[in-house]
C-alpha cells in the first residue's frame, strides 16, 4: 500500500474560463484604446512638424490653425477641433497648445475617456 495519495494536478475548467475572460477583456481594451493613442501620436507629429515651419512667429493665429487643420485632414485626425487648439504669441515666440479628450465605447454602456495635453513652443530668433 502506497504511503502517499496521488493528487490530481492542473487547472479546472471554471479556472480556465475565468483566466481566458480576463485575458480577453484586456485584449478588447487594447483594441479599443490603441487607436486613440495612435491618433495622439499623429497629433504630436503634426505639432513637431508645425514647429519646424519657417517663419512661424510671423504667421497669424488663423494661418497657424489652417496649417494644423490641413495636417489633421491628411492624417485623418477626428478628435481634435479648433476649440481644442490654443495659440499664444508674444515677443518671445509662439506657443501652440492642444488639449483634447477622446472616448471609445468598450462594451455595452462601458466607455473609456482619455485626456491628452500637448504643447510646442517656437522661440523667436
Residues 78-118 pLDDT 10s = 999 989 999 998 888 889 999 999 999 998 899 999 999 99
What nine digits make up the cell of 23?
A: 485575458
- Residue 51 confidence (pLDDT): 87
For the whole model, what pTM was predicted? 0.80
Which pLDDT tens digit goes with each residue over 9-38? 778 899 999 999 999 999 999 999 999 999
Torsion of CA 43, 49, 55, 57, to 10 degrees: 30
> What does the angle CA 6 – CA 9 – CA 15 come to, to the nearest 5 degrees?
150
Instruction: Tell how strand 85-90 and strand 93-107 pair up.
Output: antiparallel
Amino acid at each position: 500500500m502506497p504511503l502517499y495519495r496521488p493528487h490530481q494536478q492542473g487547472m479546472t475548467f471554471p479556472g480556465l474560463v475565468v483566466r481566458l475572460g480576463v485575458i480577453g477583456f484586456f485584449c478588447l481594451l487594447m483594441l479599443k484604446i490603441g487607436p486613440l493613442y495612435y491618433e495622439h501620436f499623429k497629433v504630436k507629429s503634426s505639432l513637431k512638424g508645425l514647429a519646424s515651419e519657417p517663419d512661424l512667429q510671423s504667421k497669424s493665429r488663423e494661418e497657424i490653425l489652417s496649417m494644423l487643420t490641413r495636417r489633421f485632414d491628411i492624417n485623418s485626425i477626428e478628435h481634435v477641433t479648433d476649440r481644442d487648439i490654443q495659440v499664444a504669441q508674444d515677443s518671445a515666440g509662439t506657443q501652440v497648445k492642444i488639449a483634447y479628450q477622446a472616448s471609445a465605447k468598450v462594451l455595452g454602456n462601458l466607455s473609456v475617456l482619455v485626456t491628452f495635453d500637448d504643447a510646442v513652443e517656437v522661440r523667436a530668433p
